[in-house]
Structure 1
């Protein structure tokens, strides 16, 4: 059994999700302690508990400590089981993070699987649907992964009510990733989603994008949603290049003005564009598990604490060793070896 102090490093939910996925893949039992100890509300929240239940469902695992608020979990998996799965978080917890918990094991199953997750599709501190669809999955396809996703219904924090559907085919041909250059810039777009809010919010945010990034009117568009449960706002910036598309998302809330929401997204995109690296900070986190499974290399503009913690957890389960080379200011090359 692998014992993990889940408060180490960044100390958030990613430790749990990575450990669950790799526990199933490597068929090694885990004992997690001090789960999410560094968060304001430590222990398993509804979203994290759904991740545990989802991991249990696809592996017929024996589990103890799977309760709301629990900071101690023992998880003993059995064989990976393909199938049709439906997981409801019950809050605006992130659908994408639940999906990513089961994605890697199900890619290694014998048959195709379908997964439906209900909860939040556009929530802070989690990949948006657009990030998955237009940035994350295209990179995985370079590695031979075949996954299709569908946004059935938008769901924002705190209302939730969203639905995401994924079809996951077995990963037959595992190809190493080589993504060290983003390629030539093709286009850029800003999309403002707003549900049950005034259009003026979108107008303000998109005007700020045009001003701050010097984008043209043809590059920005707003989309008022009619099928969303509750209110919500997301500003999604995308830069498409020949080898990769970077997507940045900022979310509206009562504590920030529309201009501040736009400023957060624009600042992150400007940091990315100022670097020659292929991928941004958040994509770098997401690529560590597939890199450990299939090998490869990529460049990124930021090495975060979240990234470093994820590396440490992955290395507990696999012989993978991540090497980070500082090529230049805001440009890091990430390699993996299985020595």
Structure 2
């Protein structure tokens, strides 16, 4: 049996990404791990519902041995078995993120001997996680470039705090991802804003999109109201999608009680403008998520507008499971991330 990897969840930014990355790579490498101080850097430490479901999903997919674990737990021991494909269904039971659960198990299911269909219910759009469209358009597109076949269907929207959303993912086996170097984004192909509203006045969407149009210089055809059934709400998500020759980026802001529509628009616009001005290929959040599949491919590189503490912590965890080195180099207005086998 392989030696147990010991992880401290309080290291670095101290969030749930440490646990999710460990689960993913434990499944793939067959390496058991033990983690203490789970999410020690958060206001409510320990496992939340979405983290617990990620553990349960990972355990089911590889028939792992897991000790007693529950919401609030700050210690976990995980010993994986063989990954198996199939039909899976996981219910978070709250507005906890479906996307983060899927990102935990996606790479592992690529290593399954047969195809998989995964249904996850919970939150699809909340401020603490990437929205479903980020998986579909940004993360999913890069996985496809690396040879993976992953299709993600947004069956029902789920906003905080009600949840009730549903994502369905179809994953084909792909034991070895291709290495890619993503240094340039290429020419812009498209750019547009979408405002999703459920159970709130349509005037909110209009104001948010008007602000985006003025700030980005976009016309009416690029400003799209996406009205949803009232029973999905209350909820409001503003998404800016920038499609380039080599990459697609998605920036998001969420409406909140007592927060003006103009403030919501400014959040999304500021992030998109920072990315555009940098000249980098990927934004901060895509950079964070892209490191793991790149490490599984055995190498590659990309440029990014920002390297967060979240990314640095994730890189350190990846290096505990895989024989890779991840470096971040300053290149003026952006950073270059390089993954090398050691």
TM bin (shorter chain): over 0.9
Question: Is residue 322 of structure 1 aligned with residue 326 of structure 2?
Answer: yes
Within the candidate set 242, 249, 252, 1:249 is matched to 252
Deviations 1:141-183 (A, max 9, x none): 1100100010110100001000000000001552102211110
Question: Is residue 86 of structure 1 aligned with residue 89 of structure 2?
Answer: yes
Within the candidate set 102, 116, 120, 2:119 is matched to 116
Question: Is residue 72 of structure 1 aligned with residue 71 of structure 2?
Answer: no
TM score, norm. by length of structure 2: 0.97
**Partners of 1:190 and 1:238 within 8 A in 2:** yes
User: Which whole-Å CA distance do the structure 2 matches of 1:77 and 1:255 have between them?
Assistant: 46
**Partners of 1:65 and 1:74 within 8 A in 2:** no
Q: Which residue of 2 aligns with 1:313?
A: 317
Secondary structure at 1:151 match in 2: strand
Within the candidate set 125, 128, 132, 2:128 is matched to 125
Number of aligned residue pairs: 338
TM score, norm. by length of structure 1: 0.98
Question: Is residue 293 of structure 1 aligned with residue 296 of structure 2?
Answer: yes
Correspondences of 1:3-14 after superposition (within 5 Å): 3-14=6-17
Secondary structure at 2:331 match in 1: strand
Secondary structure at 2:278 match in 1: coil
**1:90/1:272 Cα in 2 relative to 1: closer, same or farther (>3 Å)?**
same
Correspondences of 1:1-339 after superposition (within 5 Å): 1-226=4-229, 228-294=231-297, 295-329=299-333, 331-339=334-342
User: Which whole-Å CA distance do the structure 2 matches of 1:185 and 1:152 have between them?
Assistant: 29
Deviations 1:35-85 (A, max 9, x none): 011111110011110000001100111111411100011111111111100
User: Which whole-Å CA distance do the structure 2 matches of 1:18 and 1:193 have between them?
Assistant: 30
User: Which whole-Å CA distance do the structure 1 matches of 2:204 and 2:252 have between them?
Assistant: 16
User: Which whole-Å CA distance do the structure 1 matches of 2:307 and 2:78 have between them?
Assistant: 30
Q: CA RMSD in A?
A: 1.1
Query: Structure 1 unaligned runs (5+)?
Result: none
User: Which whole-Å CA distance do the structure 1 matches of 2:269 and 2:151 have between them?
Assistant: 29
**Partners of 1:120 and 1:157 within 8 A in 2:** yes
Return structure 1 stretches of 4+ with deviation > 4 angstroms: none
